[in-house]
Amino acid sequence: MTLPKPNRDQLAFSVATVIVLAVMGALVWGFGRQLALARQMRAEEIRLEQAVAAEQARHDELTAQLEYVKSDEYVEHWARAEAKMAKPGEVVVVLAADTESVAAPQPTPSPEPEARPFWVEWWELAFGAVGQP
């Protein structure tokens, strides 16, 4: 029993089919990679847009704060609250709790552990703490 010999047309068609399938497979694989890359780039773009929006809001907040600091209202607030100043003819009232002369309570020092002989520490390392099962 012998196998029939393929003729040249069948062989050429088979080779052409394999080549076409290989090229199409490479194209599909490359297209899939490009789609995955486009998806990643879109996610990164969204993340960056959110970061830009957050920084723009921070910029707006800082600009508003700068305008407030440049205003006379801020200067008066600072002079009265921080520097304890008053306008001519006004009297500054400072409560005792606001002064620095009130001594803050000092924390009590924690008692230091008793100094134990070195052999007790060795004994506990070797056999466990004294009085412990």
Tens of pLDDT, residue by residue, the chain (133 residues): 577 777 888 889 999 999 999 999 999 999 999 999 999 999 999 999 999 999 999 999 999 999 999 999 999 898 888 888 888 888 887 777 655 555 566 777 666 667 777 787 777 877 777 555 4
Report the pLDDT value the prediction gives residue 8, as an integer from 0 to 100.
87
Task: Give the global pTM.
Answer: 0.45
Report the pLDDT value the prediction gives residue 131, as an integer from 0 to 100.
58
Domain coordinates in residue numbering, the chain: 9-95
Cα 48–chain centre separation:
15
Report the pLDDT value the prediction gives residue 83, as an integer from 0 to 100.
85
Helix axes 72-81, 8-70, angle to 10 degrees: 70
Report the pLDDT value the prediction gives residue 73, as an integer from 0 to 100.
92
Among residues 21, 43, 25, 22, the alpha carbon closest in space to that of 33 is found at 25
Report the pLDDT value the prediction gives residue 118, as an integer from 0 to 100.
74
Q: CA separation (Å) from 22 to 9, 14, 25, 35, 36?
A: 20, 12, 5, 20, 21
Report the pLDDT value the prediction gives residue 5, as an integer from 0 to 100.
76
